[in-house]
Each structure stands twice: as C-alpha cells, then as structure tokens.
Homo-oligomer: A and B are copies of this chain.
Amino acid sequence: MSELVGNLLVAQSGGPTSVINASLAGVIQEAGRHECIEEIYGGANGIFGILNEELIDINDERARTIEGLRHTPAAALGTCRYKIDFKKKPEKAAQDMDRLFEVFQAHNIRYFAYIGGNDSQDTSHKIHEEARKRGYELRVIGVPKTIDNDLPHTDNCPGYGSVIKYNATTVMEVGFDVGSMATDDGSCCIIEVMGRSAGWIAAGTVLAKRGNPANPPHIILLPELPFEPEKFLAKVKETVAAYKYCVVVVGEGIKDTAGQEVGADKTRLDSFGHPVLAGAAEELKELVQGKLKTKTRTVLLGYTQRAAAHCASLTDANNAFATGEAAVRAAIAGESGYMVKIVREIQPDGTVKWSTGLQPLADIANVEHFIPREWISEDGYMPNEKFVAYAQPLIEGEVRYPIESGLPKYVVLEKTRVEKKLPPRVA
C-alpha cells in the first residue's frame, strides 16, 4: 500500500444521537495523528452541504471543543436527510455524483468518513464505487450511527446504548411515580418510544424491570409482532388486577394484523383535510380508557430520547468514539468500501471486551436488522433473558460532562468555512 497524501472530509447524516459527535471526535482526533492527512474538513449538513461546497475547517476549531464533542448531543456539523437516489431519480443522482467529485477534486479530498445509518451507508457505498469507476483515488469508510439499532453485521449501533439507558431510566422513574399513585381504581401509563419498524428501542426498556416481573414496564409492544387489541386489553386488565397499575411501552411503528400502522387513522381528517396521526400511544389510550374504563396517561418521548446526552452510556460513547478512530485507521491502511462494525467478545469473567472490525458496505446498505423472535417471550409482550443479556452491557457506565449554571455544558463548533473554489451548484 502506498501512502496517500491529501485531505480528509467527515460528515454526519440522518437523525442525530447522543453520541454521534463522539464518533466525529474519534475521526478528528485520529486524523490529527497522521501526517498523510493534511487538512481535516467537515461537511456542513452532510452530503447536502458538501454538494453546495459548504466545508468546515476543523483545524480552526479549539482542541477543547473537539474533546467536548465526546459529551455533546446532536450533529455538531449539522446533518441532513438528503439521499442520492439512483433508483428513483437516476438523472439527478448522476448530476449529484458529478458535483460531489468536483468538490472532492477541488479540495483534494482523499479520505471520506460518513457517519450515519442505512441510507448513509448506501451513499458511502455508491461514492466508493464511483471513485473506483472514475479512477479517483479516494478511501471511503462508513461509521455506523442509529438509535434504531437496525444496521446488520455490527453487534450494536452507536447511539442505541444511550437511548435505551435514558429510556430505561425514564420508564423506571415513571414506574415509581405511577406505582406510588396506584389505588384500587387502577391506572395505566403508555410511553411511546422511537425505533420505526424495529423494536430494539422499545425492547431496551425491559432493563428497567431489573429482573423483577412486578416492576414496570409490564407490557412492551414491539413492531416486530402484529398488534392484537383484544389480547392486549386482556393483558392490561390482568396486570392492573395484579399490581393496581400497568406501564406499557410502545414502539412508534407497531402495526395491526393487516399491516396498518396503529395511530394513523385515515378516516379522521383535521381541519385542513389531512389524516389525524394520533400516534400509537394516544390510540392505545383511547382503547384502554374506552374498553376497560381505566384512567390512562401518555408520554411521547420523541426527540428527547436521542438527544439525552445528560444520561448517555459510557460504553456507547466509547464505542462510538472507537468506530470513528477505526474508520481513519482503516483508510490510512488503504481500505475503502467498508463500514466499521462493533464486535463483542465475552471474557471468561463474563465482562465484555469491545473492539471494532470492518464489513463491506455492500453487505450493509439498505438491509434492516430486527429482533430475533427467540429473544421475545412466548406471548410477545416482553423481551426475554437472551435480549437482556445482549442489552445490559450496552448501558454500563456514565458519560461525565461539565455543568454550568445547573445545566450540562455542551460545545458548539465555530464552523469557519473553507474558501469555495467552485461556481455555485446548479440544483
């Protein structure tokens, strides 16, 4: 392998997480150790910003700020949901690719690290192939990121451990609250969490039980299994009879037996003629209150769960950082067209040793990874001990962060722009 001298470009894509900036810090700090990398640039708002030649001069940032990225939530470079879509818009995609390589060439980009989920790994894969085709020497490495934990081949996805640590903490706390109010009247609390069509995030709240069946959550509704209202209501009734209250966690993407999303009621239109999306938790609340006459409250965690860096997992943050470092080391070693994956090795004493590996991007792009059926209880309402053994190590350890005036002190990049060398993009 010959040494490739040039600049490195790193960018972030898709929904942010508590630890996506830890991966960014890993890329930047590792890149700083290698002389063949001359400049480190960040793409502002992912591919979208790169297409507009919006590059951030990372070497202009303070070292203290880069270190602070290890405990700062959200995407410090900015992120996007832009997709280079060769299937649906082949002409536009070809144009975008031309423009991308113009930008790469103009700024002598030879290393490209893209931090993101399924779509972003697909984009990285396409850029890697395109570089080969064009004979442009570029080393492309994908860095995994998604709270949904649905990337294949990696043990887990950076962001996931932190979201379930925060959600399990929250469900445990809400459980204490609702339990302390429980009287013979009975009550129900329904907490909706993210995860799209994968149930990993919902499943992770099982850790709040700490091994005690009486502890909340009492029911976890996973999108992997069809939602059956009568069976669910019977389970709520049984739980309220046993404990006087019932805490339900529901993954936002649950579907009924016909494959329709629960909470997306297309028969009810708002004043502007759009279908009212009540959300799964609200829909279930109506069901429980209506059929069982049990007082029900809902919680919709939304963005809070993926941004809750004040409750991030140190294991997750360290793995996120390590994937960023590993991406740069792989590229320096001459690799391209891979995603860094997290590897778990259980030690003789039962603790986990984490390391990283490489997986061809071709194996990753657009493949979704779901919870195996054998990790879920027979009745479908609770992940079992196999899932717990998998998830428990991911929430170990706490990320420490500075506090100012009673609030976490997160960092913000200066984002000095690199001088543009190209005419504006023709969109």
- For residue A398, which residue of chain B has the nearest CB? B403
- For residue A309, which residue of chain B has the nearest CB? B173
In the assembled complex, which residues on chain B have CB atoms less than 8 Å from the CB atom of A207? 405-407
Residue A334 is within 8 A (CB to CB) of chain B in the complex: no
Among the listed B16, B79, B170, B180, which residue makes an inter-chain contact with A74, where contact means beta carbons less than 8 Å apart? Answer: B180
Among the listed B169, B286, B300, B410, which residue makes an inter-chain contact with A271, where contact means beta carbons less than 8 Å apart? Answer: B286
Cα A286 to Cα B309 with chains together (Å): 29
A183 touches B309 (CB 8 A): no
Q: CB-defined interface of A375-417 with B at 8 Å, one 1/0 digit per residue?
A: 0000000000000000010011110000111111010000000
Which of A177, A274, A298, A304 has the largest count of B CB atoms less than 10 A from its CB?
A177
Q: CB-defined interface of A279-297 with B at 8 Å, one 1/0 digit per residue?
A: 1001000100111000001
Given contacts A183-B48, A274-B289, A290-B271, contact A311 B313 (CB under 8 A): no
Among the listed B282, B303, B310, B406, which residue makes an inter-chain contact with A178, where contact means beta carbons less than 8 Å apart? Answer: B303
A173 touches B405 (CB 8 A): no
Q: CB-defined interface of A322-342 with B at 8 Å, one 1/0 digit per residue?
A: 000000000000000000000
A189 touches B303 (CB 8 A): yes
Residue A270 is within 8 A (CB to CB) of chain B in the complex: yes
Among the listed B176, B177, B274, B306, which residue makes an inter-chain contact with A177, where contact means beta carbons less than 8 Å apart? Answer: B306
Among the listed B78, B173, B180, B279, which residue makes an inter-chain contact with A76, where contact means beta carbons less than 8 Å apart? Answer: B180
Interface size on A, residues (CB 8 A): 74
B183 touches A45 (CB 8 A): yes
A210 touches B173 (CB 8 A): no
Residue A308 is within 8 A (CB to CB) of chain B in the complex: yes
Residue A172 is within 8 A (CB to CB) of chain B in the complex: yes
**CB within 8 Å of B: which A77-112 residues:** 77-81
Cα A287 to Cα B253 with chains together (Å): 24
B289 touches A177 (CB 8 A): no
Cα A176 to Cα B208 with chains together (Å): 27
Residue A242 is within 8 A (CB to CB) of chain B in the complex: no
B397 touches A406 (CB 8 A): yes
Q: CB-defined interface of A42-78 with B at 8 Å, one 1/0 digit per residue?
A: 0001001000000000000000000000001111111
- Min CB distance A133 to B, Å, is 30
Cα A290 to Cα B279 with chains together (Å): 17
- Min CB distance A194 to B, Å, is 11
In the assembled complex, which residues on chain B have CB atoms less than 8 Å from the CB atom of A403? 398
- Min CB distance A48 to B, Å, is 7
In the assembled complex, which residues on chain B have CB atoms less than 8 Å from the CB atom of A276? 278, 286
In the assembled complex, which residues on chain B have CB atoms less than 8 Å from the CB atom of A396? 405-406
Q: CB-defined interface of A12-25 with B at 8 Å, one 1/0 digit per residue?
A: 10011000000000
In the assembled complex, which residues on chain B have CB atoms less than 8 Å from the CB atom of A182? 78
Cα A413 to Cα B185 with chains together (Å): 22
A176 touches B407 (CB 8 A): no
A169 touches B290 (CB 8 A): no
Among the listed B15, B172, B310, B405, which residue makes an inter-chain contact with A408, where contact means beta carbons less than 8 Å apart? Answer: B172
In the assembled complex, which residues on chain B have CB atoms less than 8 Å from the CB atom of A74? 173, 176-177, 179-180
Residue A299 is within 8 A (CB to CB) of chain B in the complex: yes
In the assembled complex, which residues on chain B have CB atoms less than 8 Å from the CB atom of A289? 272, 274
Among the listed B176, B180, B183, B270, which residue makes an inter-chain contact with A290, where contact means beta carbons less than 8 Å apart? Answer: B270
Sample of 11 more A-B contacts, CB < 8 Å, known A75-B180, A299-B303: A45-B183, A80-B181, A80-B183, A173-B304, A174-B304, A174-B307, A176-B410, A210-B405, A268-B268, A300-B300, A301-B304
Lowest 4 CB-CB distances: which A-B pairs, in order? A395-B406, A74-B176, A272-B290, A173-B307
A-B CB contact pairs (8 Å), 20 listed: A15-B181, A73-B176, A74-B177, A75-B181, A81-B181, A165-B406, A168-B406, A170-B308, A176-B307, A178-B303, A207-B405, A271-B290, A278-B278, A278-B282, A298-B300, A300-B300, A311-B311, A392-B405, A396-B405, A398-B403
